[in-house]
Amino acid sequence: MLNDKKTIRAWCMYDWANSVYSLTITSAIFPIYFQNVAVNANGGDRIQAFGFEIVNSVLYSYALSLSFLLVAVILPILSGIADYAGKKKFFLKLFMFIGSFSCLGLFFFTGENIEWGIFCSIMASVGYSGSLVFYDAFLSEIVTEDKRDIVSAKGYAYGYMGSVILLILNLVMVQMPEVFGMTDAGIASRVAFLTVGVWWIGFSLYAISKLPENVHGRKPEGHYLTNGYIELQKVWKQLKEMNGMRKFLFAFFFYNMGVQTVMYLAATFGSKELKMEASSLIMTVLLIQFVAIAGAFLFAYVSKKQGNIRSLSIQIFIWIGCCFGAYFVKSELEFFALAAVVGLVMGGIQSLSRATYSKIMPQDTVDTASFFSFYDVTYNVSIVIGTFVYGYIEQVTGSMRNSTLALASFFILGIIFLSQVKLKNASTQVADV
């Protein structure tokens, strides 16, 4: 049933469940832990891994790129199967288990087994990103179009709040390990990875159990793989005829490069360029999360008044300013101020992008996962390129500051493509022009 409060709450709870991964593992504790333990015998950042000598932060950037590339390759066909067989819940649960168990595996990463740490971080990222396409696909099946902006914002707000709660608990544990019977912050960090896995599994199982199964009542016949591919082909043909959707995906591709790269590597930037302490970096991440909650609802309100495309455009201009600001930032106070602005537009641009795409989709389609697979493939490929370029520029120039200028160019390209997306009328629907 559309707009059912219990179903919407359950859908939002999956954001509450999986966002602890994106905060603790990708943004806060794990990057700092990795920088501290992935060092050579002299404590330097050039390490041996997979038979190569490489800078630890560059290796981490490349690992993230590989994880999103893997997801981009496998998701389209799986989404076709999910639509054909009515199995979105099955695949959502599958990727959830892949991601959460990989977080549990990070407990065994001590710095002496770099390859294991990289493998688990890649698989955790695959599980997290892979689950999102099936999770996002439920939005258009449980909520009417007029409520998608606010419900999408609510989902992200749940995610920010849940992840902050667990991060604060983990932060206390890392800062005062002796209180919890642990010898040092390293052990406490590894236990934090365990808590992420347990949290993700526990709340996900509750959320997924409340989501509808096979909304459209599809009854599959024949081979799942073959018919899943046919389902995907059908959606691809529709997509090729929808100029508005294509233009939006191009815009999303470029500006999302910048958004996600900032999210994944902001803590590393603060650590390497500003020599910030771990506690300061985590406080920065917390600040971003709290402000992002307000940002998600603020720009949902702006979209209601000004339309989705104009609201997104405002945010992209702010992101461009943030990138140039990062190049010149020198002190922790300046970094905190910049983080507050980033948080404001991070929450808004993520929730509104998802909601906007759900409105561009044909409203009577039963292939919601397949349509969202193109959105999420765009999402993942953009992160592959963004994190790779960021790491490559750092490797060539020796400074992450130069990498931030590349991010600004991504946002500029995004705003150029977004300016070509026209509205049908006063609503937020995108015209096929």
Q: Is pLDDT above 50 for 422? A: yes
Exposure of 157 in the CB half-sphere (CA atoms within 13 A): 16
- For the stretch 158-185, what's the b/e string if a residue is b when 16 or more beta carbons lie within 10 angstroms of its beta carbon? bbbbbbbebbeebbebbeebeeeebeeb
Reading the block at residue 128, the tokens are: 């997290």
The torsion region of residue 3 among left (phi > 0), alpha (psi -120 to 50) and beta comes to left
Poorest-confidence range of 45-59, 90-104, 406-420?
A: 45-59
Give the pLDDT confidence of 314-369 residue by residue, as tens digits: 999 999 998 898 888 888 888 889 889 988 998 899 899 988 888 888 766 666 77
pLDDT at position 8, please?
94
Q: Find all residues with CB under 8 Å of 305, minimum gap 6, and list them.
A: none
Record the pTM: 0.80
Give the pLDDT confidence of 366-399 residue by residue, as tens digits: 667 777 778 878 887 887 788 788 878 888 888 7
Q: Does domain 5-215+223-418 have CATH number 1.25.40.80?
A: no
Reported as a pLDDT band with limits 50, 70 and 90, residue 215 is low
Give the pLDDT confidence of 5-41 residue by residue, as tens digits: 999 999 999 999 999 998 888 877 888 888 889 888 8
Q: Which of 138, 141, 136, 210 is nearest to 2 (CA)?
A: 141
Give the pLDDT confidence of 223-279 residue by residue, as tens digits: 555 655 666 677 777 777 778 888 899 999 999 988 888 876 776 778 777 788 777
